[in-house]
Amino acid sequence: MAEQETRESLLEPYRVLDLAEGGCLIAGKILGDLGADVIKIEPPGGSPSRNVGPFYKDTDHPEKSLFWFAYNTNKRGITLDIETADGKELFKRLVKSADFVIESFEPGYMASLGLGYEELERVNPGIIMTSITPFGASGPYARYKASDLTTWAMGGFMAITGEPGRPPVWIGFPQASLHGGAMAAAASLIAHWHREMTGEGQHIDVSIQQCVTWCLATAPRYYEFLLRFLNLSNLPRMGAHQPLPHALSPGLNYVFPCKDGAVYLILLGGSNPSYLNSTKQLVSYMDENGMAPDWLKEFDWVNEYDASKLTQDVIDRVQGVVTEFLMTKTKGELYDEALKRGIHLAPLSNAKEVYENRQLQAREFWAQVEHPELGQAIGYCGPFVKLSEGPLRIRRRPRSSASITWRSMGS
């Protein structure tokens, strides 16, 4: 038997032409992390995404955008003006040897240049072209422009995000386009599998609004239930609360403050053995520290803290004394004891704590990438999965200059 050919990475033979911007850059990054040869194409003067912060040492400069660095690892780069006649021809030459084209222009822009899917399909019948837009290429909103805030709002996510009785809130870090880019990468790989089976390329139309709506999980399914059985039109905002089963209103709080931040704690009773044991262990921990009142030590968790029968008064009384205790301990102290005792508790980590997390360090999640132009290495998120075949790694750092031309990169 002939020795099986080995590849350094999964998508090593395949080429991606990346015209995306903003968070949509993550689509090309994912394919690049999987081993594809991703060529980021910038317009003359450089990509507008180079102006997105935060910036290295707070220096507002297109060569020091940490956003740009983060979403362009494992990519090569060229400068190409696809609006000129020469640029269009050079782009078509690249398409001949490419497998994917990813773009995030407004609907119809590429077609207006003579570089739409129908034209590129004639150049390369197997090409997969993935277009990412705020609302998709069809429908009444197709030509609408949108910000991250707009797509979160119109996708329905903001309506259920926030504290009860207060206005909706926006996701803290702009990420709607990241969801669009991630789903674009997944769709591109699905289309690639179809091409492997049939030889056919195709055009993928990604709507960021639809991607955001997917993030709602089971929330849309509540609509008919609320309308039919509770005479409510929408799922209410509940903050960090879990609604009680007998009424969709705030009830059980799962996020509690502690000495140096906050923890996530499942505080339940009823007939579930796991929850019941966790709650009893928490009371025992409080008692060892002299902070469990007699009524709490004698509390009937099976019947008095059954979620199907709970009242808000009981919840407030129990959670009040638990909060007093948690405020005397740090996240680290609480987590260590939770692991020993089987308490359903986890710390809410900030960026520094995530970076220093022992589990992520042990799995070598973080990668240090040298940046000679900055005179130091920068820490990056490493591979998003571990593979036994074709291991993922950062092979290239993002280029720091937009002055590289297509010819310097070769074909």
Q: Which domains does the chain possess?
A: 15-214+365-409 (3.40.50.10540), 254-355 (3.30.1540.10)
For the question of whether the overall pTM of this predicted structure is more than 0.85, the answer is yes
Residues 6+ apart with CB under 8 A from 195: 126, 128, 201, 202
Work out the pLDDT band at 9, boundaries 50, 70, 90: confident
- pLDDT for the residue 135: 97
- pLDDT for the residue 237: 76
Instruction: Tell me the H-state helices in 199-330.
Output: 208-214, 222-225, 273-288, 294-297, 301-304, 312-326
55, β-bridge pairs: 65
- pLDDT for the residue 232: 60
| Rounded Cα distance, 194 and 190, in Å | 6
- pLDDT for the residue 173: 82
Span 149-155, average pLDDT: 93
- pLDDT for the residue 305: 85
Span 319-330, average pLDDT: 97
Residues 6+ apart with CB under 8 A from 285: 337, 341, 343
- pLDDT for the residue 114: 98
Pairing outcome for strands 255-258 and 202-207 = unpaired
Residues 6+ apart with CB under 8 A from 356: none
Q: Are the beta carbons of 394 and 367 closer than 8 angstroms?
A: yes
Exposure of 35 in the CB half-sphere (CA atoms within 13 A): 14
Span 40-64, average pLDDT: 95
Report which secondary-structure segment, H or E, holds 340: helix 331-341
Q: Which residue has the higher pLDDT, 248 or 12?
A: 12
Work out the pLDDT band at 405, boundaries 50, 70, 90: very low
Checking if the pLDDT of 53 tops 80, the result is: yes
Span 209-220, average pLDDT: 86
Checking if the pLDDT of 155 tops 70, the result is: yes
Q: Which residue has the higher pLDDT, 274 or 113?
A: 113
Mean pLDDT across the chain:
89
